[in-house]
């Protein structure tokens, strides 16, 4: 799990990188929760997501947004963090030019940033959005959502109302050729305290289905099989 330093738009970006040596290995970027509420790349869920992709043969990058840890700059409430994420994806693609697919995963605030990056980068094949803050941030830019993915939240979330996530998912499910999966974890709060195993069971099950060569989504124009 080597440390890497990226040259970001606000200065140095601190990151951790797992490289998969296999030819054409897929790539994934993991985005952490809100920097002003203790979110870092060492968040337990961020690490578990990182490990889940690494276990499945991905080259994976997780990093600290500007102003977090040893990353330079100041919190920018969205635009700057999106620029950081784009820089991270650029770096990952430069080091893996033959990657056969590309994924994005984010937790809470990180999922909001990840979905914005998804809209700007058509090469992203799939996403994982954990506790997407549907009642705190505007997700209307997902019009339409360009890739299939998973949204998962806690049934006892007091930060992001479960109904707000369901409303967002229902809206996205109306799109042809895109499959938005949605899991609600019973008993889980916004931070999935004592429910991380159940969360990762949902994520791992979804990844295994999506990466199975026999599983293909009916997306027009290009494959969304992610494998």
pTM exceeding 0.75 = yes
Q: Residue 61: which CATH number?
A: 3.40.50.1820
Looking at residue 150, its pLDDT comes to 98
Looking at residue 25, its pLDDT comes to 97
Residue 103 domain flag: yes
Residue 102 domain flag: yes
Residue 216 domain flag: no
What secondary structure letter does DSSP report for 27? Answer: E
Looking at residue 214, its pLDDT comes to 55
Looking at residue 220, its pLDDT comes to 36
Residue for token digits 């970001």?
8
**Cis status, amide bond into 144, omega within 30 of 0:** yes
What would the pLDDT profile of 136-163 be if each residue is shown by its tens digit? 999 999 989 999 999 999 999 999 999 9
Residue 223 domain flag: no
What secondary structure letter does DSSP report for 73? Answer: S
Closest CA to 117 of 142, 97, 137, 136: 142
Residue 32 domain flag: yes
Looking at residue 213, its pLDDT comes to 72
Residue 218 domain flag: no
Residue 64 domain flag: yes
For 17, what's the count of Cα atoms within 13 Å in the CB-facing half-sphere?
19
Instruction: Give me the domain span that covers residue 32.
Output: 3-211
Q: Domains in the chain: how many in total?
A: 1
Residue 224 domain flag: no
With 0-12 / 13-18 / 19 or more C-beta atoms within 10 angstroms meaning exposed / middle / buried, residue 36 is exposed
Which residues contact residue 203 at a Cβ distance below 8 angstroms, ignoring those fewer than 6 apart?
48, 49, 52, 128, 130, 150, 152
Residue ranges in the chain whose pLDDT is less than 70: 1, 214-227
């Amino acid at each position: 799990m080597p440390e890497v330093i990226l040259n970001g738009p606000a200065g140095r970006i601190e990151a951790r990188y797992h490289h998969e040596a296999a030819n054409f290995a897929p790539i994934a970027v993991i985005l952490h929760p809100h920097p002003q509420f203790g979110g870092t790349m060492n968040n337990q869920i961020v690490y578990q997501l990182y490990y889940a992709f690494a276990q499945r043969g991905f080259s994976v990058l997780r990093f600290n947004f500007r102003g977090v840890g040893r990353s330079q700059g100041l919190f920018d409430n969205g635009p700057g963090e999106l620029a950081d994420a784009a820089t991270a994806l650029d770096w990952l693609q430069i080091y893996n030019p033959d990657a056969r697919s590309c994924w994005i995963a984010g937790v809470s605030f990180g999922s909001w940033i990840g979905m914005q990056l998804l809209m700007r980068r058509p090469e992203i094949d799939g996403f994982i959005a954990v506790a997407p803050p549907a009642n705190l941030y505007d997700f209307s830019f997902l019009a339409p959502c360009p890739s299939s993915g998973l949204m998962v939240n806690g049934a006892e979330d007091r930060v992001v109302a479960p109904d707000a996530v369901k409303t967002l998912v229902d809206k996205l499910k109306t799109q042809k050729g895109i499959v938005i999966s949605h899991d609600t974890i019973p008993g889980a709060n916004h931070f999935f305290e004592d429910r991380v195993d159940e969360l990762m069971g949902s994520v791992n099950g979804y990844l295994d289905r999506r990466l199975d060569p026999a599983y293909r989504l009916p997306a027009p124009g290009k494959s969304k099989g992610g494998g």
